[in-house]
């Protein structure tokens, strides 16, 4: 291909791609630079990697940072697993069974999800406050209570994603399994779930990411520092404008990104198939 034609057809796309990558990567590089800075500031006058030190990372050991990491992973993993199980069960029912209120139920799930959970944080606070008087394990300052709050909004969009993917699995497979004597539970757990594993991975990843970085509900429910998540704990380091520790914050943010990055890379092969296959047949 001649150079002029290559530039006209393909070259400009590479330029746009490089500009987009640089635009997206600069904030990440800036945070990494701030985490390695001796001064530990985020002022615009700082030069990238002008000074490199691991003091901010070492200082994390003297804080509750690793306790917050464990808390966040526990909550995020439990919520992701619960979301996948609940969403898959609902999507299987809507996809395979015909019952009264099926269409209304799907529409209702979609409409309800238009209103984010954070709009109800006052109601959530009062509800957990009342429940905590009877069952302290589900009340305020309870990780289990926060998980239940997150799972309360686990359906909706996730169910629609799974519903479209479940529809791509031929029903003849279910009928053949029934002829062989399989029950609905056996078909669901041993056959269907294996065939829809890409969308399960996608929903689990999206749920994990959204829970991992969620702040408002976590701040409302979790009261003590020992039960905080990373989002709440890191905010506490910079919430005071006169005493903000941006170096420590940047170091914690860099480490906090590693679990999400590792999970994304591990599930990468499922993401494209899980997001596109469900749109083939609705």
pLDDT at site 280: 45
Same domain, 157 and 265: yes
Residue 275 pLDDT: 57
Question: Considering the domain boundaries, does residue 175 fall inside one?
Answer: yes
- Cβ-based neighbours of 281, under 8 Å, separated by 6 or more: 164, 167, 168
Q: Is the dihedral of CA 59, 62, 64, 70 positive or negative?
A: positive
Residues 106 and 242 in one domain: yes
**30 shares its domain with 71:** no
183 located within any domain? yes
Of the residues 53, 78, 93, the one at which a domain ends: 53
Cα 47 off chain centre by = 33
Structure tokens at 204: 């689990």
Q: Does residue 172 fall inside a structural domain? A: yes
- The reply to whether 246 and 270 lie within a common domain is yes
pLDDT on residue 228 = 94
pTM: 0.85
User: Which helix (H) or strand (E) is 144 found in, with range?
Assistant: helix 143-151
Tokens of 117: 């959970």
Per-residue model confidence (pLDDT) at position 71: 95
- Examine residue 58 and state whether it is found in any structural domain, yes or no: no
Q: What's residue 269's pLDDT?
A: 75
Number of domains in the chain: 2
Question: Residue 104: inside a domain, yes or no?
Answer: yes
**Whole-angstrom Cα distance, residue 228 to residue 222?**
6
- 198 within 8 A of 165, measured Cβ to Cβ: yes
**DSSP line for 170-206:** -HHHHHHHHHTT--HHHHIIIIIHHHTHHHHHHHHHH
What pLDDT does 116 receive? 76
Q: Are residues 109 and 245 in the same domain?
A: yes
DSSP state of 100: T
CATH number where 80 lies: 1.10.3720.10
What pLDDT score was predicted for residue 279?
A: 46
Residues 69 and 161 in one domain: yes
Is residue 261 within 8 Å of 206, Cβ to Cβ? no
| Same domain, residue pair 42 and 178 | no
Determine the Cα–Cα distance for residues 259 and 257; give it in Å rounded to an integer. 6
Q: Cβ-count burial of 32 within 10 angstroms (0-12 exposed, 13-18 middle, 19+ buried)?
A: middle
Please tell me the predicted confidence (pLDDT) of residue 43.
61
Q: How many CB atoms lie under 10 A from the CB of residue 188? A: 18
What is residue 271's predicted lDDT score, i.e. its pLDDT? 73
Q: Look at residue 240 in the predicted model and tell me its pLDDT.
A: 78
Retrieve residue 17's tokens: 């791609």
Determine, yes or no, domain membership for 196. Answer: yes
Q: Mean pLDDT in each 10-residue stretch from start to end of the chain (282 residues)?
A: 74 86 90 82 66 88 93 95 92 87 83 78 89 88 92 80 86 88 88 88 90 92 92 89 82 92 84 57 44
Scored b (16 or more CB within 10 A) or e, 245-265 reads bbbbbbbbbbbbeebeeebee
Residues 6+ apart with CB under 8 A from 13: none
| 18 plus 94 within the same structural domain | no
Residues 38 and 51 sit within 8 Å (Cβ to Cβ): yes
Q: What is the pLDDT of residue 1?
A: 63
pLDDT of 118: 75
The answer to whether residues 80 and 46 belong to one domain is: no
User: Which pLDDT does position 272 carry in this prediction?
Assistant: 66
Residues 78, 193: one domain?
yes
Same-domain pairing of 86 and 43? no
Query: Does residue 83 share a domain with residue 107?
Result: yes
User: Mind giving me the DSSP string for 213-226?
Assistant: T--HHHHHH--SGG
Structural domain of 130 = 63-279
């Amino acid at each position: 291909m001649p150079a002029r034609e290559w530039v006209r057809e393909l070259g400009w796309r590479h330029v746009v791609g490089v500009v987009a990558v640089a635009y997206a990567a600069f904030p990440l590089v800036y945070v990494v630079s701030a985490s390695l800075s001796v001064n530990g500031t985020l002022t615009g006058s700082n030069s990238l990697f002008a000074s490199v030190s691991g003091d901010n990372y070492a200082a994390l050991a003297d804080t509750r940072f690793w306790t917050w990491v464990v808390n966040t992973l526990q909550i995020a993993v439990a919520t992701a697993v619960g979301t996948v199980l609940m969403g898959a069960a609902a999507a299987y029912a809507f996809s395979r069974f015909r019952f009264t209120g099926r269409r209304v139920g799907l529409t209702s799930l979609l409409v309800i999800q238009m209103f984010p959970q954070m709009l109800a944080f006052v109601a959530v606070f009062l509800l957990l406050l009342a429940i905590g008087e009877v069952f302290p394990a589900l009340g305020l300052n309870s990780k289990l209570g926060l998980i239940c709050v997150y799972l309360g909004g686990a359906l909706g969009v996730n169910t629609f994603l799974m519903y479209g993917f479940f529809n791509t699995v031929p029903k003849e497979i279910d009928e053949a399994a029934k002829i062989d004597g399989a029950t609905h539970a056996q078909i669901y757990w041993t056959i269907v779930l294996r065939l829809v594993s890409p969308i399960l991975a996608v929903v689990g990843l999206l749920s994990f990411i959204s829970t991992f970085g969620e702040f408002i509900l976590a701040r409302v429910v979790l009261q003590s520092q020992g039960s905080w998540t990373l989002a709440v704990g890191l905010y506490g380091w910079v919430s005071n404008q006169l005493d903000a520790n941006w170096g420590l914050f940047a170091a914690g943010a860099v480490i906090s990104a590693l679990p999400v990055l590792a999970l994304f890379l591990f599930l990468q092969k499922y993401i494209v198939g899980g997001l596109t296959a469900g749109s083939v047949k609705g």
